[in-house]
Amino acid sequence: MRHTRRPGPRPRRSGGAPGADAETLGEEDVAAIAEHVVRTQMRHIRHGLRQVLRGLAPARPTAAVVAGCGAFLARAAAEAAGLTTWDLAAEVGEDAARSAPAAAVAFLLSEFCEGSDPSEGSDPSGAVTA
């Protein structure tokens, strides 16, 4: 049997939760969903960070700079991986720190497009350093 939509206003959905609407999804439910999302994000970030750190051995860094709207996630993942953290927002302010991840990606893309190895680093003149 085919389901047909009844005429009238559509029910409001809450946060994209399947089968839930504002009347059936309470504050505790929303908090539980948010906690699940944070735990899942943390697991993925920790896994990715461990992969990167394994690839950098033996020159494994001991600290991580955290910045952007996900700094709280980055901080927790870095600390779980045994790294000390440096909060960029404390040094340059929230606005500048929020844009730092995008600037870093742009820098890496520019290095990639030029054929340089970004892991070798570069100075402001564009000279690649080892």
Looking at the predicted structure, is the pLDDT value of residue 84 above 70? yes
Q: How many other CB atoms are found less than 10 A from the CB of residue 115?
A: 6
Looking at the predicted structure, is the pLDDT value of residue 83 above 50? yes
pLDDT of residue 128: 36
Check residue 127 and report its DSSP letter.
Answer: -
Phi–psi pair at 102, nearest 5 degrees: -65, -40
What is the distance between the alpha carbons of residues 67 and 48, in angstroms, rounded to a whole number? 17
Mean of pLDDT values over 95-119? 86
- Which pLDDT tens digit goes with each residue over 10-56? 545 455 555 566 678 888 999 999 999 999 999 999 999 999 999 99
What is the distance between the alpha carbons of residues 36 and 130, in angstroms, rounded to a whole number? 42
Mean of pLDDT values over 58-86? 92
Mean of pLDDT values over 106-127? 70
Phi–psi pair at 15, nearest 5 degrees: 55, 20
